[in-house]
Amino acid sequence: MDTYRALQVDAFTDEPLAGNPAGVFPDAGGLTDEQMQQVARELAVSETAFVLPSDEADYRLRYFTPTQEVDLCGHATVGAFGHLHEDGAIDAGEYTVETNVGVLDVAIDADGTVWLTQDTPHVREVEPSYERVAEALGVDVASLKDVGADLPLAVASTGVRYLLVPVNFLEHLGNADPDLAAVEALTDEFDALGVYPFTFDAIGADATLHARMFAPGAGVPEDPVCGTGAGAVTAYLDHYGAFADEFPEEVVVEQGHYVDRPGRVRARVDPVAVGGRSVTVLDGSLVVPDAEEDEILEV
């Protein structure tokens, strides 16, 4: 058995115990897929990022939820690079990261803000009934039909696919009581990681949107603050011309308030990039069983 450094980094916030917690293994070389999945299950946050060497980029990142590997994760990338910068391993500047969707650009500002340029946007309109989606989310169907005339239901991706659901008012989004089995059925049918309802009726005066994200099929009942979701919704808003005037320089997505983990994602378009701060809140070690053993991990 080997001992590895293990961290929890709260991303899309500069306050501890807010934003979205990510597991980070800053030196994961030598771990098998099975061991990484075991670690992610043990850490039990929505995603854990494993930092690995790369022949194609400055770093390789792999991301695991408690139940499966995912191709890209915004908050775990922000957490991993934010920690490396906070720890003095890297300076502010530009880097590349190899992911399952390809090699992407990462930039770190002097204040520690990490920007991840995402994959090529894809948006496709889909036609589940509003009644079905409303029932799955536990909202009044009228709260979806109000905005559906201008912004349709669609699956959008900048590396990870989400079913995007515009909602008219924050009250309805905040009171959503999802049927997780029905949500999972929707994501399975439309080949999406999660359902991402959002509204322009935000809490903060400087926020563009308020969002939530449910991905029970990936072992994430509700993700506090979702970077790839923010990238997807930014691409979606650009695709459908959601702003009457010029597209804003930044879309600010607030999320996490209804799970007591408030955070903010900054998103830009052309190319789509998401950014945010992070703070390391837990720094320790984890004993990982040998690959052929079936043991419980010890913290």
Q: Is 264 helix (H, G, I), strand (E, B) or coil?
A: strand
CA distances in angstroms from 147 to 45, 53, 83, 140, 268, listed in the order given? 33, 46, 39, 13, 23
Q: Is 55 helix (H, G, I), strand (E, B) or coil?
A: coil
Instruction: Give me the residue label for tokens 């169907």.
Output: 141
List 50's β-bridge partners, or say none.
25, 62
Q: How far apart are the C-alpha atoms of 59 and 270, rounded to whole Å?
A: 24
Sequence-ordered list of residues with C-beta below 8 angstroms from that of 78, at least 6 positions apart, any chain: 11, 12, 22, 114, 116, 227, 274, 275, 276, 277, 278
Answer whether 178's CB lies under 8 Å from 142's CB: no
Please report which residue ranges of the chain form alpha helices under DSSP H: 33-43, 74-86, 130-137, 142-148, 170-174, 180-189, 227-239
List 280's β-bridge partners, or say none.
9
Instruction: Give me the residue label for tokens 């300076």.
Output: 91
Residue 47 annotated in active site: yes
Q: How far apart are the C-alpha atoms of 124 and 196, rounded to whole Å?
A: 15
- At position 194, the amino acid (one-letter code) is G
Q: How far apart are the C-alpha atoms of 71 and 64, rounded to whole Å?
A: 9
Q: How far apart are the C-alpha atoms of 148 and 201, rounded to whole Å?
A: 15
Q: How far apart are the C-alpha atoms of 263 and 241, rounded to whole Å?
A: 26
From the candidates 47, 184, 222, 254, which is the catalytic residue?
A: 47
List 59's β-bridge partners, or say none.
97
Which residues participate in catalysis according to the annotation? 47
